[in-house]
Amino acid sequence: MTGHAALGFDPAPGNPAEVLALTRKSSASAASLGEASRAMKALVSHGPDWQGEAATAWRAALSQDLPRCPGSARTSLAEAAKHLTGWHETPVAHRALAARRALAGGVRR
């Protein structure tokens, strides 16, 4: 509660720096999964990048769901990062407002 004695509580609990770090990790993971999804789709597409018996056997054994999984995970992590960004901005703004009001002489009602 340091710095918020006039309020009697922390107006924006949590650690915004940790949220920002999680946002960055989620975004980086989403980007990696996007690359994996594109690579897997290219391998499944019977394109010129991979031909021969091994490619044919791999495509035959591959579950139809597997190529979609990295894309779905990428979408989920990208959405999580978007929401974490919004959540991060809110407590940062609330803390700045609380600090300005504390400097101005207390809480306004």
What single string gives the DSSP state of each residue in 62-103? Answer: S-SSTTHHHHHHHHHHHHHHHHHHHHHHHHHHHHHHHHHHHH
Average the pLDDT over 11-27 and give the result: 88
Percent of the chain with pLDDT over 90: 31
Rounded-to-integer distance, Cα 39 and Cα 50, Å: 11
- What is the per-residue pLDDT for 92? 85
- What is the per-residue pLDDT for 1? 47
Percent of the chain with pLDDT over 70: 88
- What is the per-residue pLDDT for 75? 96
Token couple for 79: 């959405």
Q: What is the pTM of this model?
A: 0.69
Residue 50 has pLDDT above 60, yes or no: yes
Residue 90 has pLDDT above 80, yes or no: yes
Token couple for 97: 């407002």
